[in-house]
Every structure is written in C-alpha cells, then in structure tokens.
Structure 1
Amino acid sequence: MEIDQWRREYLLGGLRRAELKPAPIAQFSQWLEEVVKAGLQDPTAMCLATVDAAGQPSQRIVLLKGFDERGFVFYTNLESKKAREMAHNPRVSLLFPWHPLERQIVVTGEVASVAREDAEAYFQSRPLDSQLAAWASRQSQPLSSREELQTQFEAVKARYAESPIPMPDFWGGYRVAPLEVEFWQGGGNRLHDRFIYRADDCGNWSVERLSP
C-alpha cells in the first residue's frame, strides 16, 4: 500500500476571524451544534492526552458529558491509568476530530475533579447496565479473559438485582479548564485556517491566527 500518496483536498469552506465568537466556549457550542445537525457519529467523542511520571504521553477516546465557561466534563474510573496520570500531572489536552466537516478542535488546559454530587447525578442518569459495568470493571487492571469480565458483571448484576445501584467510590468526573483552544478548518492546497484562543491571568480571551 502506497500510503504516502493517500491525500484529499479540504474544500468544504474556510474560517474567518469575523465569524468567530468572542469566547471559545461559544464557538465550540456553535460548531458542536453544526456537527450534530450534520449527523456525525459520536459527535462528543474526544481524544484525551495525559502524561505519566516518566514523561510518556498516552491517549484514549472519552465522551464529553458537559461543557460551560468552566470547561469540558467527562467521567471515568478514578483508579484508571488516565486518572493516575492526571493525579501526577493535571495538564491535559483534548482533541475533537470532526473529519467529515474538515474540522478539529484542540483544547489545552488543567483538569480537576467535579463535585461528587454532580458525578452522582450523572451516574444515576446512565443506563442500568452502564452503572453495573462501572462496578464490574477495574479499569486498566490486568484481566485473564473476557469470561472473567462477564462473570464479574453478572455478580454485580445479582448483587443489585433488588436495590438501587450506588455510584462506586472509585468512579467520578473531571473538568478540563481550558487555557488554550484552537479551531482548525481545512482549506484547499493545505492552506488551512487555524485560530487559537488564549486566556490571560484574568480569564480574558485573545484570538490569534496561526499558519497552517
């Protein structure tokens, strides 16, 4: 396969400074709405990048579960690999890869735990099987087989067959407070449009165009 020759032109449209909202969350909200209207699969899927104690980055896809001026929220096992890495280094990055619309958004910021009552409210809104799965999976820990995982799931299901499912102590949410947010729109001849929002110490945002 001659993958070095695989390429396509990005011709869906450009991005101009006059079109941008004053703050990145408002711009993100507009683009997310357009992505949803376009019918993209998994519009809230985002790549979360963290760094371990040795300086080794790692990435995985998580789902955005809320956002506002304070930042971007997701939920996970608090004993997972990503949680351990975020405890060591709270600086993280998010990437929203909306390829069908020839768009990307990159968020750089610091992560902090969401309030437990907020995590509780979200946990109770999840489908019952998803609640059970949170108990059954010791995320990122070695597992001997698929059968072992299924056995753990069935055991938890039996345990809570007649009672509400509580949120595990090892489960919760994080909010990424953005320091920089970059909006990328593909352009013809690789002349893409890139704008980056940066926050100052007072929380005010500036916008700068970047070379593609």
Structure 2
Amino acid sequence: MKTFAWKKSAPFILSVAVAFTALPGFVTPMVMDVPIGIATAYAAVQKEWDFSQDIGAWTCSGNYNYSSKAEAAYDPAFGGSLKLTVDFSKDKEETWSEVKLSDTSITPETPVVFSEPTKWIEFDLYYDPAKLGGDSAFKVKVFGKDDKGEEVINDLQDKLGTAHAIEGSNLKRIHVKCPFMDEFTGKLGHLEVSVVSYLSSYQGDVYINNIKM
C-alpha cells in the first residue's frame, strides 16, 4: 500500500487520481476536509524554491524605466525570503518603473523540466503599504521562455487583490498567481519575476517567498 508524505510548509495538493468503489459502510477519504476525489483536480507542484537558508541563484537581472540601484538578498523574515531593496522615488511620476528578478540557474542548457502540464506560477509578496501613497500601486509581471526561446508566460497582474496584515509587522502580504499562456509541459529555459511601480515613490524592502509552479 502506497503512502504519501506531505511537506508541512506546502498546501495540500494531490497529483494522482484515485478511484474508490462505493461500498456499504465505506467512508469517503478526506484530507483537510476535502474529499480526495475532488482534490485530485488540483495540479501538482513540480518546482518550488526554498528560501529558508538562502535565495540560491536569484538576483536582480535588469530594470526598465528605473533610475536607482536595486539589490536582492536573503532575509530570514517570514521563514526565509528574497529581500528586494528598491528606491522608486526618482521615478514617482512614471506609470511603469520595473525591477526584474531572475533565477540565473535556469538556462536553456539547465532548464526546469515539467513532465506534467503546469498552469501557474505563484508566490507571496510582502510590502509596506505606508510607503505607497495616493493612487500609487505595485504590479507584478512574470515572463518566461522555453529552452528554444519561445515565450511560455508573459503575464501582468495589475490588480493584486486583498493584502493581509502581518501580525507584529507594518508589512502586508499578497498572494500572487500568474498563468502560463497555455498549459506548459517541457523545458523552462528562462524566468523573470518583476516588481512594477505605478506612480510610486516607494523606498525600502519588498519580500518574496513561497515561489512554486
């Protein structure tokens, strides 16, 4: 009989379809109050970045319409995060000022291989709302290509949804979810995650963690 081991830090996901025969007295298996037959509709996580000790090969990889220095570094906050230090104050009149992050270990020669279809990349973004005044806002862009150079994701999330306050902190957290152009199976040869400022003078740190696909 096969058993499944789940990471405590990861949400419940089932990647294997399981069929059960309805028998008298049979109790439908439940995990986290979700019937297994329903839970199988969720796709499996095939790639997940662990920032608990370091940020690996992630780094600032470029910018657009951005006039200051940006730096990516490890921080132990929130169980381990990529801390992005930015200064958008010189570009506060711009409706698009972008800082790009990349995992430089992902290349056409050393791609991330998806053996099953994947639809999304998702992660948590933490920021200080007091540094975003008036009509200013953050947006998130994710861009990626396969090992042959073809775009497979080019998504802008300009309405990031509800931000949740972090107890004991002045920061808030937003869960970001960006779709691939189509269900993607194959080799991902390049990946960029961008923080985009809209009319913002934000100076300080932004944190990212729990990146998974």
Give the TM-score normalised by the residue count of structure 1.
Answer: 0.27
Higher strand share: 2
Higher helix share: 1
Give the TM-score normalised by the residue count of structure 2.
Answer: 0.27
